[in-house]
Structures are given as C-alpha cells and as structure tokens.
Amino acid sequence: MSERVIISETPFVDVEFQRSALEANGIEVEVRDTHTEAAVAEAVVDADALVVDVHSPVTADALERADGLRLIARAGTGFDNVDVGAAADHGVHVTNAPDYCTAEVATHAFGLLLACRRRIPAADREIRDGEWSWETDRPMRRVPGSTLGLVSFGGIARRLAEYVEGFDLEVLVYDPYVDEEVVEEYGGRLVEFPELLAESDAVSIHAPLTEETRGLFDADAFERMPEHAVLVNVGRGGIIDEGDLATALENREIAAAGLDVLAEEPPGETPLRDLENVVITPHSGWQSLEAYDDLNRTIARQLEQALDGQQPDHAIDPDPWS
C-alpha cells in the first residue's frame, strides 16, 4: 500500500509541486479541508503525513486516533495550532518552515512601523476623500534616533535589527530565552519587559503565542508605553488584548498600531478597523513569490525525510511544549 500525504485545503501549499515531488516516489497526495478538529481527527487516521496551515486545530484529542501518522508539517512558521507534546507522545514529528519568509516579515514589520509613524495610510484616505492638508492633530516624530523595542528575538527580529541599523535606531530586546551576548551581536540591549515598554518609541512583536505571551499587551502594558509610541504586531494576534488596544488608541495612550495578525482571522466585529490610527494587513507579511517557492520546497523536503524514516531538518523539539 502506498503512503499517503493529506494536504489541508490551503492557498499556502502548491499542491501540484508537492505531487510532482512525492508521487514519483510512490507517495499518494490528497487534498482535504482540515479546518475543524473533527476533520483533523479523520485525517490523522488516513494519513502517513499531514500538511496543515494555521487554521487546522491539531489537538491532543484528535491525535488520539493517530496510528500510522509520522509527520505533521506546518505550512508556515508558527505552530501554536498543533499540540506538539501530544504529537510526540504518539511518535509523530512536527515540523515548520522557520526561514522561508524571514526577510519578508522583517520588511513588513518595518513597513508597518513607517506607515504608522508617517501616517501614510491616513493621509492617502484623506486625499481620496477630497482633503489636502499636511496638518494633523497627531504630530509626527522623526524615526532616526528613536528606540525600537523587539519582543522575542528569533530570526525575523534579528533580521529587522539588521535592517534598522542604517536608521540609527537604538534596539531594545525583551526575550527571556535568549542570551545577552546574542542580542549584543546585533547591536541591541537585552532588557526586562517593563523597561522595553517605557523606553521604546516603537515596539514590534515577533513572539509565538504561548500561555506566557497570550494577552501580554493589555491595558497595563499600554499605560506603561509613551503616548507617542507605535505598536507593531507580526507575531500572533492573541498576544494583544484587542479591546484594551482599541481603548488605548482611542484615548491616545499610544499613537498608532500596525497589525498583520489579529486574534480572529478574518476579524469579526472589531473597533480596530474603524480607527484612523490603525493599519491592518491580512496576515500577508510572509508573502512574496520567492517565499512561496521556499515554503513549498521546505515542506516537500520534510515529507521526503520523514517518510524515508529520517529525522526531518526542521523537527520541533517537543520538550518545551510538553
């Protein structure tokens, strides 16, 4: 019996590329909608490997039905929708694609920061509404010479630190899991979270969603930030309490927010979309033709390795998630 790979119905995966890479080795490729726990539970029974996106909930209960499953390949960087510890208990590797969009997301984060600081989207809307005025009741501040705070210091945040060097920014980093020497290599300074909030003119979030980071940015955090501060989030939406953020923006406790991720995607009713000092993009920070190609090559490589009995290149260590 041939091995079977089930791919979640997702725009992130080039199914024809995966078929070309895998079927030559006798591996069957099937596409299914796995965006419910029940659908995932059915898929883990039928598949030797499962490719999922962020909307597929791979829970401990679903994994109870896993028998011949060897790999869950997350088509992306974050894997908070996969119970990595439960997968390990069932002998299933979990992989991601950690590097495929590093440059894109770092660029997007800085783009959001600049768009917010320079009020570019707001100015564009005003002109389209027939206005023409450089005056604003939200004065702009110079970007060079300011302080950028980075929450979490993985590959994307490190690339952003490199990008902003030419803008003469001081870089502060909050990450309890990184050594001070690593931060200093990139010209940054490791600080505690309260100091980062108080001293940063802009804060960019790059953290995964965990029990530690969920709701990290709440009313208390916004009170600690300067009134002129800009908040950027390219990590996960759940790291921000969006109700508290809307209140902080309305009350001008902070100046603006640039968000590529939201707690619910696509969002339901949210006051954030009605605020002129918010820039929202549709979780598109990863996107480029080159990143799409890199993602699919990475997925195919993980599938080939796992189904050949090898340790996949990007297997996630289950210990921190167990």
| Active-site annotation holds for 265 | yes
| Residue 252, C-beta contacts closer than 8 angstroms, at least 6 positions apart | 227
| pLDDT band (50, 70, 90) for residue 1 | low
138 and 197 belong to one structural domain: yes
| Residue 174, C-beta contacts closer than 8 angstroms, at least 6 positions apart | 149, 150, 151, 152, 190, 191, 192, 193, 196
Choose the catalytic residue: 236, 242, 253, 314: 236
126 and 93 belong to one structural domain: no
pLDDT digits (tens, 9 = 90+) for 132-161: 988 776 788 899 999 999 999 999 999 999
261 and 148 belong to one structural domain: yes
Calculate the CA 142 to chain-centre distance: 28
What is the pLDDT at residue 136?
72
What is the pLDDT at residue 67?
86
106 and 92 belong to one structural domain: no
Domain count across the chain:
2
The answer to whether the beta carbons of residues 60 and 41 sit under 8 Å apart is no
Choose the catalytic residue: 30, 223, 265, 276: 265
| pLDDT band (50, 70, 90) for residue 54 | confident
CA atoms within 13 A on the CB side of 299: 32
| pLDDT band (50, 70, 90) for residue 321 | low
Least-confidence region, from 99-103, 121-125, 145-149? 121-125
Instruction: Round to the nearest angstrom and report the end-to-end CA distance of the chain.
Output: 33
Mean pLDDT within 271-297: 95
pLDDT digits (tens, 9 = 90+) for 160-219: 999 999 999 999 999 999 999 999 999 999 999 999 999 999 999 999 998 999 999 999
What is the pLDDT at residue 299?
97
What is the pLDDT at residue 320?
74
Q: What mean pLDDT, rounded, does the chain reach? A: 94
44 and 154 belong to one structural domain: no
Q: Rounded distance, CA 254 to CA 189, Å?
A: 23
227 and 140 belong to one structural domain: yes
275 and 132 belong to one structural domain: yes
Q: Rounded distance, CA 166 to CA 163, Å?
A: 7
Q: Give the DSSP H/E element, type plus range, for residue 6.
A: strand 4-8
135 and 245 belong to one structural domain: yes
Q: Which domain holds residue 87?
A: 4-100+289-321
What is the pLDDT at residue 11?
87
Does a cis peptide bond (omega within 30 degrees of 0) precede residue 98?
no
> Does the pLDDT at position 239 exceed 60?
yes
| Active-site annotation holds for 90 | no
Mean pLDDT within 8-21: 92
| Residue 64, C-beta contacts closer than 8 angstroms, at least 6 positions apart | 41, 90
pLDDT digits (tens, 9 = 90+) for 28-53: 999 999 999 999 999 999 999 999 99
**Which amino acid is located at 13 in the chain?**
V
179 and 72 belong to one structural domain: no
Question: Do you know the residue count of the chain?
Answer: 322
43 and 188 belong to one structural domain: no
> Does the pLDDT at position 83 exceed 90?
yes
Tokens at 265, concatenated: 């995607």
| Active-site annotation holds for 236 | yes
Tokens at 207, concatenated: 């953290």
Choose the catalytic residue: 70, 158, 283, 314: 283
| pLDDT band (50, 70, 90) for residue 292 | very high
> Does the pLDDT at position 268 exceed 90?
no
Share of the chain above pLDDT 70, in %: 99
**Which amino acid is located at 317 in the chain?**
D
The per-residue b/e assignment along 9-29, b for 16 or more CB within 10 angstroms, e otherwise, is ebebbbeeebbebbeeeebeb
39 and 83 belong to one structural domain: yes
91 and 139 belong to one structural domain: no
Residue 220: give its domain's CATH number: 3.40.50.720
